[in-house]
Amino acid sequence: MSNRKVAALRVIVEVVFMFLFFFLLRNRDLQKWFLIFGIGLVRALLMGRFYCGWICQMETLFRPINWLYSKLRLKRLKTPTIFKNNVFRWTILFLFLLLMVAVRVFKIKVNLLLYIAVFSLLITLVFEEEFWHRYMCPFGTLLSLFSRKPLFGMKVEKPSCVSCWICQTVCPVSAIEKENDGMKIDTSECLVCLKWKESCPEISIKYSIFE
């Protein structure tokens, strides 16, 4: 499939799920979104973090922010080194789960998903996407656990890879790393966003089954 068709398909999927998100929000039934996430979590075992790159409303909302910052040539802060560890991200997940239990037990009327979406936007206005996707998002942390060894995922075809590092620079979560014999993709962090397709000169990255 051509780059243009893939990009168009991704936009269509994002728009459909964004409308669904706001439909559930308008009908005060946003809790059903957890069902969609649950399906995405199970699919992560087979397809990687497809939910993050194609369905998540937060990633969809980040797109116009990224476009605007690019047009205005504005730079955002990189992820602070102090937060680049698993202790921080798992602590965030634990606190989130604790908050969910508290809301349920004490019957607090608060829309957690809406507040998380707004908070993610505020974070991404200041910091690069990596900070939210890889270290702060509780959903992303769970998905990274489920997508450690998916059946399908992004792979670098090393014979055709020229190690130009372009894919590494465009990856929003720093999931692509350089090895001695080429580039390697961390499937647990890869959002399957296909942004590399816009830049890779040899199209050396494929979404395929792992052998």
Integer angstrom CA distances of residue 127 from 118, 133, 191: 14, 11, 18
Token code pair at residue 168: 């590494």
Integer angstrom CA distances of residue 205 from 119, 150, 154, 210: 33, 16, 7, 13
Tell how many helices (H) and how many strands (E) occur in the chain.
9, 4
pLDDT bin (cut points 50, 70, 90) of residue 196 is confident
pTM listed for this prediction: 0.90
Report the run of H or E that residue 23 belongs to, with start and end.
Answer: helix 3-26
Read off the pLDDT of residues 97-151 as tens digits, 9 standing for 90 and up: 999 999 889 888 888 899 999 999 999 999 999 999 999 999 999 999 999 999 9
CA 78 to chain centre: 17
One CATH from 1.10.10.10, 1.25.40.10, 3.30.70.20, 1.10.1200.10 for 152-209: 3.30.70.20
What is the rounded distance in angstroms from the CA atom of residue 153 to the CA atom of residue 175?
12
Cβ atoms of residues 52 and 171 within 8 Å:
no
CA 159 to chain centre: 28
Residues 185-206: what's their mean pLDDT?
83
User: Which residue type, as a one-letter code, is found at position 122?
Assistant: L
Residue 127, strand partner residues: 77
Residue 176, strand partner residues: 185
- Percent of the chain exceeding pLDDT 90 equals 63
Report the run of H or E that residue 167 belongs to, with start and end.
Answer: helix 166-170
Regarding predicted confidence, which is higher, 203 or 157?
157
Read off the pLDDT of residues 140-169 as tens digits, 9 standing for 90 and up: 999 999 999 999 988 888 778 877 888 888
CA dihedral 9→10→11→15, nearest 10 degrees, is 100
Q: What angle do CA 153, 53, 97 make, to 5 degrees?
A: 100
Integer angstrom CA distances of residue 99 from 7, 105, 114, 121, 150: 36, 10, 14, 20, 30
Q: What is the pLDDT of residue 207?
A: 85
